[in-house]
Structure 1
Amino acid sequence: MKLLLDNLAFPEGARWHDDRLWFCHWIAQQIVAVDADGTTETFEAPVERLMGWSVDWLPDGRMLTTGDKLRRYEPDGSITVLAEQGANEIVVDARGNIYLDGADFDFSGGEEPVPGWIKLVTPDGRVRQVADDIEFPNGMVLTPDGRTLVIAESFAGRLTAFDVEPDGGLSNRRVYAENLGPDGICLDAEGAIWCQTGGEGVVRVAAGGEILERIDVPENRAPFALGLVDFDGPTLCILTAEWRMADSIADNLGRLVKGPRTGQIHTIPVAVPPPAR
């Protein structure tokens, strides 16, 4: 395992885009693009949340961010608010349908959890809910054919799959895999998903729950997000920060906000590449 970047506050929301790894630098409120040798380019993100926001791209290449609102970044540098909808994660299909997830409680503030949702923003700007009763919705992936969406239900310890209907709706809810600890996940070209175990490790899991590979991470480091890239070959990027299992969630989050910065990104070669783009 090779160290790509360190001295990060809270790296999350990994994406493979334009031959670079992109991620959300929570707390610093930045979007960062990094190449295989660690060279970075940084963009300021006007998101009014320290944590709980993500990035993705429309088919035409315009960038989107979530958080307090759904924002689109225009070629001239201006920003358009597409929806006054707060959200955590995001994934976009080839038709320009935008899937958002979230839950209506303040996790970092210690509020009592309530089930979350998935909402669809269609290219005409309409917003509608397409799934509910998601137990702490987190990372999402779409299969390359656009016919299946998989979401991480972190509090349930499972990955849940849906069929994507022609109108963008979701149906045929089913368990993809369980007894995990998923957060920010990624899909490979064979349809397997890299996700977290809920402890100090990550696994590659097939539909139905078979564990195909496992990678351990150092003690007291949580792998919050995973990104599968092609850095001179298939490479898994593991985004971590210090997380002391003996401490409370509030204490761990407080330490991430106040510092010191413990966020890191490591890379490790793997056999299967990301899906073709």
Structure 2
Amino acid sequence: MAMERQQSSRDITVVLDGFSYLECPRWRDGRLWVSDFYTNQVVATDGRGGTDVVAEVPNQPAGLGFLPDGRALIASMRDHRILVRDGSGGLSVHADLSDAVSGMLNDMVVDHRGRAYVGNFGFDLMGGAPLRYTTLARVDPDGTVTTVAEDLGFPNGMVILPEGVLVVAETFAGRLTAFDIDEEGGLGNRRVWAQFGRPPQTDDVAQAVEELDVAPDGICADAEGAVWVADALHARVLRVGEGGAVLEEVPTGTGVFACMLGGDDGRTLFLCTAPSFAEHERRAAREAELRAVRVEVPHDGLP
């Protein structure tokens, strides 16, 4: 649908800098956890400049989440595993998704029962392979892996709304797609939650990038049921209502690839920014920043 673009001027501050490529931010117990792809680290910050390295993930960390007992789950991208971090900081394998995915692991959301919904690239994005749609997997608390959705155009950021609805960003389809979560963790009643223009009708990534009105990457939800969307191609975050109405647009001045509401009152929108997303440009550079902007409506849902 056509977007009603309402740009707003907000003060954006730099919280942290000097990183490679930040993704998958999560607010937890007074700190923001975030994955830095190419230093292979998960970092936690109080949002005021203090940082701790909370995990070293040699095969590149991505999606983050937390089990009901507080232990962290970390998606290890290149070896298709979900790791669990114990109370002392040690890592072990929680689940191996090698037989269930066709590309590197991506973002993840963990529900209140400890079930993790995990996306994957579906194809070798950084290697120049043709675009290929892919699946969404569920990892149960005992490590069992189940494919719960198919035919997704690069499943990326995810939220679980309070009413038990999973919303997933399909980056290369230019949309947010919703599912109802049943008691067993299955996904049903698939529908488009927000469509941003016409989905590209090509498997050529460069052409698809040119055709996308919005490339939804990381997302988070607020207490009015709106979803903040990091637009990976157009240096902005969008606040979107169900149906696709753009309630607010905040230009970021540089690439933004994930966002998370947090802070003491849930009204700080943290932004993972970098000049670009291409691995060959980000791996050796240290230009990524964690930024923040204040908003009116606080966080809700998961993560």
TM over 0.5: yes
SS in 2 for 1:254: helix
Change over 3 Å in CA distance of 1:263–1:103 after alignment to 2: closer
Look up the match of 1:240.
Answer: 273
Query: Deviation string for 1:250-274 (max 9, x for gaps)?
Result: xx42111122x11011111100111
SS in 1 for 2:300: coil
Number of matched residues? 264
Look up the match of 1:75.
Answer: 87
Greater mean alpha carbon deviation, residues 182-191 or residues 230-239: 230-239
Unaligned runs of 5+ in 1: 244-248
Identity %: 39
> Which of residues 46, 64, 75 in structure 1 aligns to 2:73?
64
Query: Deviation string for 1:204-242 (max 9, x for gaps)?
Result: 001111111110011xx2101101112456111111001
1:160 and 1:177 in contact (8 A); partners too: yes
Change over 3 Å in CA distance of 1:8–1:151 after alignment to 2: same
Look up the match of 2:3.
Answer: none
Unaligned runs of 5+ in 2: 1-11, 99-104, 197-213
> Which of residues 238, 247, 260 in structure 2 aligns to 1:203?
238
CA apart distance, 1:172: 0.8
> Which of residues 26, 33, 43 in structure 2 aligns to 1:22?
33
Query: Deviation string for 1:22-41 (max 9, x for gaps)?
Result: 11011011111111311111
Structure 1 segments, 4+ long, off by >2 Å, are 43-47, 75-80, 230-233
Superposition CA RMSD, Å: 1.8
Look up the match of 1:148.
Answer: 165
Look up the match of 2:110.
Answer: 92
Look up the match of 2:51.
Answer: 40
> Which of residues 267, 273, 276 in structure 1 aligns to 2:292?
267
Look up the match of 1:246.
Answer: none
Residue type at the aligned position of 1:120: R
SS in 2 for 1:27: helix
CA distance in 2, matches of 1:215, 1:46: 32
Look up the match of 1:157.
Answer: 174
CA apart distance, 1:21: 1.4
Query: Deviation string for 1:81-104 (max 9, x for gaps)?
Result: 121115211111111111111133
Q: Which has the higher contact order (CA 8 A, sep 6+)?
A: 2
TM-score, L = length of structure 1: 0.90
CA distance in 2, matches of 1:231, 1:269: 12
2:140 corresponds to 1:128: no
Look up the match of 2:195.
Answer: 178
Taking the TM superposition and a 5 Å limit, the aligned residue runs for 1:99-110 are 99-110=117-128
SS in 2 for 1:255: helix
CA distance in 2, matches of 1:202, 1:28: 25
2:63 and 2:109 in contact (8 A); partners too: no
Change over 3 Å in CA distance of 1:233–1:62 after alignment to 2: closer
SS in 2 for 1:209: coil
CA distance in 2, matches of 1:120, 1:36: 31
2:170 and 2:176 in contact (8 A); partners too: yes
1:36 and 1:231 in contact (8 A); partners too: no
